[in-house]
Structure 1
Amino acid sequence: MATVTSAPPAGPRKRPRRGGVSPLTLGTATLWLSIIVLLPLAAVLTKSFDNGIGGFFSAVTTPRAIATFEVTLLVSFVAAGVNVILGTIIAWVLVRDEFPGKAFVNGLIDLPFALPTIVASLVLLSLYGPGSPIGLTLSATKWGVILALAFVTLPFVVRAVQPVLIELERDVEEAAASLGANNAVIFRRVVLPALLPAILSGAGLAFARAIGEFGSVVLIGGNIPGNTQVASQLIRERIEVDQPVDAAALSVVLLALAFVVLVILRVIGNRFARREERAE
């Protein structure tokens, strides 16, 4: 008589882990982030305090440094603000409208990413410098610096807003229109709240890029202390006169300003996003 051997009871099946990160992947990402971001930042921060805390504050509070920071913040805020408005309009046109050459214009938006910024400064100087072919001279003025910064930071706003517009469902807009709302009301009450986090994110990136920009303003700006000289030009000047510690201190201030602005805009954007989610 054959003996039937019962199979051992099956234990609980192990479900495959989802969303896990292997130690090798995590280690590689951490190492690369440290090499290209954390270590350079730590080196600059350490260098800025080579003359002690007093030396750091002395370098960043000179009348020349304060005037340069004021100019840098002013032109960066204006350039970012201009691109918030015009960049949002351009993103809207690229998503909602059809016109000949749309693909070309869409690709043209990314040109400042690929174009060497010194070339942009040369082009702007040729167009708005002395002997301007259009009769508009902006070289060695704040408006020339703002124009250069607006040129290099435009893609940040457009590319931040564009995907959100693409994903935005138009049913709510059509429902509002059917209830008698005009285009201005629809944009203000329906579209803008959904776009605001992306707009703030793009504005933060544009501002952070603007305060550290050098190449696009080096020719058209004129580098006039207290008028058109931006912080990056003062940093280069300090390096050229063999004051690397002061240059590092100025760089740390720029990094801190960019970080604070990005964090503030990110917090505001997240609050608006959560408010939109609750409203839905």
Structure 2
Amino acid sequence: MSKADKLGVSASFARAQPVGVSSRRAAIAEATGAPTSGVVPPSEVPIEALAHNPFNLREDLTELDELAASLVARGQLQPLAVATRMAFMEAHPGATDGLGRAPYVVIDGNRRLAAAHLAGLKTMHIHVNDALSASSSDILESALIANIHRVDVAPMDQARALQELVDVHGSQAQVAKRLGKTGAWVSQRLALLNLTPELQDKVESGELKVEPARRIGRLPQEAQEAAADETLSAVNPPRQRTHPVNAVNATPAPAPAAPAASPRITISTNSPETIADALTAHLTPDDLKAVTELLMTRI
């Protein structure tokens, strides 16, 4: 299912009346049904008035059930950051796929919007800021900044978004400055993109944790697989058996019994008869014969 399907974009909405705007904007507003900057922005709109962000840094809208349940139980705690359709179309005339006739485009909050559709909400609180839609890089940057401290942005998605910002701004240092982060912070996250495709898949699945993956990403690709195997082996060492296992009932076999200590023979007198009786009482016939033969060889 596409993002547009998940977000449930509608085809028609009530049109806002433009106030005090240019004839060009008024004409576009009449043709598209989009509100203009001359309209006082609302703080709450029907959910159908919201379209998803085509430049959303998240590649997939995941784990919506839990968020939908939270919206039902606790309501919407944070407004969606949106831009008017007019401002978005002026900045991105070719990026209208999936917008339908929605008068607002969500810049930050696409996952919440998808969860709201799933939860059956009728309206959502919004904060309108057309400056967020100035360019695709600004939208990307705004969404990335909003999601830096969130756990719902996958590490690989964050790394790809950072690389797009580097392409726009020309260097990691410039991106770090704009995000208010250090160059090392940006470099560490971009290191994930240096991983082999197989290791990137393991990061996305959670099999390979992010911290060691960033370290491994700084290695030559031919050395990465061995380093990853070593890391995974250290995290999940093979289980060792302390006792042999019975193949029939899969229960540990009892440990072999320790050999019994040899009985101590106590002789109270030195008479030959007493010595013979003590040996006879404690030794088997074969042992008694062996002792007799040993004594005969020493006489």
TM-score under structure 1 normalisation? 0.20
Question: Normalized per residue, which structure has more helix?
Answer: 1
Question: Normalized per residue, which structure has more strand?
Answer: 2
